[in-house]
Amino acid sequence: MSEQHNRLSVFKTYKLYVGGKFPRSESGRVYEVSDTKGNWLANAPLSSRKDARDAVVAARKAFGGWSGATAYNRGQVLYRVAEMLEGRREQFVREVADAEGLSKGKAAAVVDATIDRWVWYAGWTDKIAQVVGGANPVAGPYFNLSSPEPTGVVAVLAPQESSFLGLVSVVAPVIATGNTAVVVASERAPLPALSLGEVLATSDVPGGVVNVLSGRTAEIAAPLAAHQDVNAIDLAGADESLAKELEVAAADNLKRVLRPQPVDDWFATPGIDRMTAFLETKTVWHPTGALGASGSSY
């Protein structure tokens, strides 16, 4: 006689993504994440200030290797992320549908656009220098060349409402140009961001290049804005009041601050503004007609 067994579902455990690893918050805290109808989805880690500081340490450690990689190599790595997202498409469709209250069809369109956005930025990695750099005309016997360099460690407050397409639209340009990122996921809908950490861990992105935190945006963002080893901050996910507070805190070490910019349509082609926002321009002067050691001019 066969026995009927009621199988219990295996609930997914969501963790932070810091330094290529998946720690729980050092505080041990979690908070409930619900769908748009109020139904419980999961418990997400409630990150602390210590988690934020650990993420900055990981991002700084990874910066040298990532910024020193060739632009072509960074493009290959970003394209690999898109491949991995494609393989987990159905999971992200479910998570986006729950997070944003969308039908399966509309959520699938969001996920497809997100994957395409990764590919779009992957294609820009070895082209942005040609667009924003180049030779400058000068009055004198000199070459004057300008080239872009990454700013450093960038704190990114992900958009609150666009949990996946908006998230990738603010993270991908940061790392495409050689920066490393500490990402604060949407407070209300953090699960797609935390799952993105799993994709990054199984792709070719070095640990520490992207670090993903979940929790109360204001609580995590405050220490990041004031941190002396954070070079820039994107306030996309901050409301007007929080943005002003963080901008004041960021002034202590002259951080680059990208103020919140209203986005009517995340599906629209983004342009290069978010890439150039976190690039510095290095200008080199060199005399013309000089002789090198071999006797040839250079």
The conformation of residue 205, written as its DSSP 8-state character, comes to P
Instruction: Write down the domain spans for the chain.
Output: 30-287
Reported as a single tens digit per residue, the pLDDT across 164-219 is 999 999 999 999 999 999 999 999 999 999 999 999 999 999 999 999 999 999 99
Average of per-residue pLDDT across 25-44: 94
Which pTM value belongs to this model?
A: 0.90
Average of per-residue pLDDT across 38-65: 97
Q: Coil, helix or strand for 232? A: strand
- Please provide residue 232's backbone torsions phi and psi, each rounded to the nearest 5 degrees: -160, 160
Task: Categorize the per-residue pLDDT at 224 as very low, low, confident or very high, splitting at 50, 70 and 90.
Answer: very high
- Joined together, the tokens standing for residue 149 give 């360099």
CATH superfamily of the 30-287 domain? Aldehyde Dehydrogenase; Chain A, domain 1 (3.40.605.10)
Confidence check: pLDDT of 291 > 70 = no
Return d(Cα 148, Cα 65) in angstroms, integer: 17
Confidence check: pLDDT of 285 > 80 = no
Task: Categorize the per-residue pLDDT at 2 as very low, low, confident or very high, splitting at 50, 70 and 90.
Answer: low
Span of 25-34, 242-251, 255-264, 282-291 with lowest mean pLDDT: 282-291
Reported as a single tens digit per residue, the pLDDT across 231-261 is 999 999 999 999 999 999 999 888 999 999 8
Type of residue numbered 287? P
Task: Categorize the per-residue pLDDT at 294 as very low, low, confident or very high, splitting at 50, 70 and 90.
Answer: very low
**Residue with the larger pLDDT of the pair 181 and 8:** 181
**Residue with the larger pLDDT of the pair 257 and 140:** 257
Please give, one letter per residue, the 3-state secondary structure of 116-154: HHHHHHHHHCCCHHHHHCEECCCCCCEEEEEEEEECCEE
Return d(Cα 115, Cα 132) in angstroms, integer: 26
Task: Categorize the per-residue pLDDT at 3 as very low, low, confident or very high, splitting at 50, 70 and 90.
Answer: low
Task: Provide the pairing of β-strand 256-258 with 232-234.
Answer: parallel
> Of 185, 182, 153, which is closest to residue 166 (Cα–Cα)?
185
Outline where DSSP puts E strands in 198-249. 210-213, 232-234
Average of per-residue pLDDT across 127-141: 83
> Of 156, 276, 150, 272, which is closest to residue 210 (Cα–Cα)?
156
Task: Provide the pairing of β-strand 40-45 with 30-34.
Answer: antiparallel
